[in-house]
């Protein structure tokens, strides 16, 4: 998609958004003048839960309030053998807790499906896909999986607990020195190459999904949208098209590759 096309979509989006809700469908159809592809692209933005500056504002800036609603956490409870100690973060693909593994006497990061979607078959399959995607990889630049299962009815993935911060946090401080930038880029590329060599495409690589440990090691996280590349199937081995369908957006718009966008 060309930049002119994106600008056209953005302009129509804001133009139609200015109309009352009951007039938007007609206004969009008139403005698109028979261009069904353009109409579908703009309509997909209008169908979002609330208007956002999608093409001009990093999605993370508008997504945080939505992704972290006030609700009960699992802190103090058990999920399987793991003792949950505190919430580390939450997002569209799950909640991540600091937890204790009494079997090996170590802390882990425990990713779980939120209670309101834990019984959703598609979300469960996505979750299993992520576990299998990461679990099939063994590389120093990809977070390591220790365990996966269901405890007290809650699907979980236990991974190494990283001591560091998101790449986004480093970027927010200021412009990265060129040597630092190249070091991080090489490590990210190495992790992605290992995934690609195993036939797995991440599909949601962004600064929020990359951790940098205190000793400078890059760790790629969150394979929740991963897919076996080059074939029309998901990592769980499901039927073609079960988790991905034409016209469905997978990933974060501001970080999509040009061909995906």
Report whether 180 contacts 188 (CB < 8 A).
no
CA-CA distance, 250 to 100, in Å (whole number)?
A: 33
Which listed residue (47, 101, 169, 204) is catalytic? Answer: 204
CA-CA distance, 119 to 154, in Å (whole number)?
A: 9
CA-CA distance, 132 to 113, in Å (whole number)?
A: 15
**Hey, what are 72's tokens?**
């009960």
CA dihedral 115, 119, 121, 126 (to 10 degrees): 20
Whether 204 is catalytic is yes
Burial class (CB in 10 A: 0-12, 13-18, 19+), 210: buried
Query: Which positions are catalytic?
Result: 204
């Amino acid at each position: 998609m060309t930049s002119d096309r994106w600008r056209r979509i953005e302009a129509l989006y804001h133009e139609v958004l200015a109309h009352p809700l009951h007039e938007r469908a007609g206004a969009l159809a008139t403005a698109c003048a028979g261009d069904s592809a353009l109409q579908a692209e703009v309509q997909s933005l209008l169908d979002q839960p609330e208007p956002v500056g999608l093409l001009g504002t990093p999605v993370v800036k508008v997504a945080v309030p939505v992704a972290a609603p006030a609700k009960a956490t699992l802190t103090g409870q058990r999920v399987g053998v793991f003792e949950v100690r505190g919430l580390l973060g939450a997002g569209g693909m799950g909640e991540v807790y600091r937890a204790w593994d009494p079997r090996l006497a170590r802390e882990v990061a425990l990713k779980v499906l939120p209670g309101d979607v834990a019984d959703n078959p598609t979300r469960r399959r996505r979750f299993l896909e992520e576990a299998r995607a990461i679990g099939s990889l063994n590389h120093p630049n990809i977070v390591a999986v220790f365990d996966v299962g269901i405890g007290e009815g809650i699907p979980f993935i236990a991974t190494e607990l990283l001591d560091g911060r998101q790449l986004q946090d480093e970027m927010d401080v200021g412009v990265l020195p060129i040597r630092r930038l190249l070091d991080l880029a090489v490590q990210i590329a190495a992790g992605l190459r290992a995934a690609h060599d195993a036939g797995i495409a991440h599909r949601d690589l962004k600064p929020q999904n990359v951790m940098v440990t205190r000793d400078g090691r890059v760790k790629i996280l969150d394979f929740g949208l991963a897919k076996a590349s080059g074939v029309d199937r998901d990592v769980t081995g499901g039927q073609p098209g079960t988790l991905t369908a034409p016209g469905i957006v997978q990933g974060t718009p501001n970080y999509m590759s040009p061909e995906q966008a």
